[in-house]
Structure 1
Amino acid sequence: MRLLFVADPLEDFKIAKDSSFTMMREAAARGHMLFACEPRDLVWERGGRVTARLRQIALTSDPTAWFTELETPSTPLAELDAVVMRKDPPFDSEYFYATHLLQQAEREGARVFNKPAALRDHPEKLAILEFPQFIGPTLVTRDAGEIKRFHAEHGDVILKPLDGMGGMGIFRVGPDGLNLGSITETLNKGGAQTVMVQRYLPEIVQGDKRILVIGGEPVPFSLARIPQGSEIRGNLAAGGKGVAQPLSARDREIASTLGPILAARGLLLAGLDVIGDSLTEINVTSPTCFREITDQTGFDVPKMFIDALEAALRRT
């Protein structure tokens, strides 16, 4: 098969932990042809189809020069077997435009994973609102008065922007309310931007668990990202320590409920973030932790993903 990965620049991949790289390696081991491009390479013109300037690559065994490249002419995406959208957040205007170009490619016959419309319909912070039975006390607003009221009710809260990634822009305000007004002004831009506020979950000390759901089925291990030192964030990008562990009964309940729903909407891969017993985010753009879970448990996450991708292609 001819597989295209729409991603960040290949030169920026950190292959020791990059989940997209593990997908590529598994696909290459099965004999599939690998192509890559960035969202900026997508082009559409009236009378034609969505095309991209592709980089055909072959993987090497050298970690410092992990691929070789063949020049490939602009190719219609519909002529490839699958397009895997793996561009990292932020989900900004350019990401939004890329999903529309990929959706046009779908109309022309391309098979895109995750589906572009589903990416737009599931903003990673706000997607949890659909599943209130699994989330802790949560407020979404741009109103400073509502944030103050929520803090007064719950005492210890987390505030975060809706477009952040890797733990960026997350603040904790304790019962003393110290700096609540200043933090609110910083995040809501004086009432111009919406923020999320959640009751602080002390279970974060045991880790912010990433549960991968592939083809509607959960990977049997999560990666608990444990904050280090005085840090409140477990994100690996913020210095958290990743520890793989079997899913708890509550983890399985959440994943088994959401998995079939998300898969039916065209989300072949999703990453559920759970602290304690509470769902906190649904990641759909480029969920990670493949490498860490595989290395620590022996469960082959990339194999499960490529199996699911091949099965999805056989159904279409």
Structure 2
Amino acid sequence: MNILFVADPLEQFQIYKDTTFAMMREAARRGHRLSACEPQQMRWQRGGRVSARVRDIELTGDATDWFVGRQVRNAALADFDAVLMRKDPPFDSEYFYATHLLEQAEREGAQVFNRPRALRDHPEKLAIMEFPQFIGPTLVTREAEDIRRFHADHGDVILKPLDGMGGTGIFRVGPDGMNLGSIIETLNGGGRQSVMVQKFLPEIAEGDKRVLIIGGKPVPYCLARIPQGNEVRGNLAVGGLGVARPLSARDWEIGEALGPILHERGLLLAGVDVIGDCITEINVTSPTCFQEIQQQMGCDVAALFIDALEAAVKR
């Protein structure tokens, strides 16, 4: 197959942990051809097909200069066997527009993973509300008084913006309500921005688990991101410690319940975040943790993903 990766700049990859790199490495090992572009390099001109300025690359095996192929060419996305949308968040207006270009490319015959419409239809924090049986007490609102009532009911809560990533903008407010008013003002901007409020889950001390779902099936191991020091957030981006472990019975229950639903909607890969027994997010833009799980547990997650990709591509 000829695979196009729509991703962040290749020069910025930290290949020792990057999941997109792990996908590339496994695809190349199987003899698939690799190309890459950034979302801003896609274009659509009247009367033409969606195309992009792409680079055809080869992996070198070197830890520093890890790829060769600097030559840029113009290519229609529909001419590739598979297009993998791996641009990291934030899901801003430009990401939104990119999904529309990718959806047009689908109409022209491109096979895009994850499907562009599915990316738009699954905001990563809000998507959990569809599965109330698997989440803790949660509120999404723009109303400050709603937030205050929720805090009064539950005492210890987490507040977060719907468009945050990597743990940014997450606050914990205890029973004393210290700084609640200031935090509400910061997050919802006088009612202009929606806020998610959740009952604090003390199980975060044992880790925020990333349960990967590939082709509708859960990977047998997860990565628990464990907060360090006085930090309440387990995100690796803010210093959380990543510890791989087998799925618990509850993790399996969640993965097996959500997997077929997400797969049917066009999500070949999803990362479900679980604290204790509760889902907190469903990541669909560019789920990570492949390499950490492989390094610690020996489970080749990238191979599972390329297996699923090869099965999904219609030739």
Correspondence 1:205-220 to 2 at 5 A: 205-220=205-220
Shift of 1:72: 4.0
Equivalent position of 1:71 in the other structure: 71
Partner residue, 2:60? 60
Residues 16-70 of structure 1: per-residue CA shift (max 9 Å, x gap): 1000000000000011110000000010011110000001110012111100015
Mapped pair 1:307 → 2:307? yes
Matched, 1:33 2:33: yes
Name the SS for the 1:260 alignment partner. helix
Superposed, 1:118-137 pairs within 5 Å as 118-137=118-137
C-alpha separation in 1, matches of 2:162 and 2:14: 26
Residue equivalent to 1:10: 10
Report the counterpart of residue 19 of structure 1 in structure 2: 19
Q: Is 2:104 the partner of 1:104?
A: yes
Q: CA deviation at 1:139?
A: 0.4
Gaps of at least 5 residues in structure 2 are: none
Gaps of 5+ in 1: none
Q: State the distance in 2 between where 1:272 and 1:82 align.
A: 24
Q: In the alignment, what sits opposite 2:261? A: 261
Q: AA paired with 1:73?
A: R
Query: How far off its partner does 1:190 sit?
Result: 1.1
**Structure 1 residue ranges (4+ consecutive) displaced by more than 6 angstroms after TM superposition:** none
Give the % identical residues: 73
Aligned residue number for residue 222 of structure 1: 222
Q: CA deviation at 1:193?
A: 0.3
Letter in structure 2 aligned against 1:114: N
Deviation at 1:91, TM superposition (A): 0.2
Q: Deviations over 1:59-88 (max 9, x none)?
A: 012111100015242100000000000000
> Any idea what SS the aligned residue of 1:190 has?
coil
2:165 — aligned with what? 165
Taking the aligned partners of 1:227 and 1:22, their CA distance within structure 2 comes to 25
TM-score, length basis structure 2: 0.99
What whole-Å deviation, never above 9, does each CA across 1:180-236 have from its counterpart, x for those lacking one?
000000000111100100000000000000000000000000000000000000000
1:43-54 to 2 correspondences below 5 Å: 43-54=43-54
Q: Does the residue aligned with 2:165 lie in a helix, a strand or coil?
A: coil
Q: CA RMSD in A?
A: 0.7
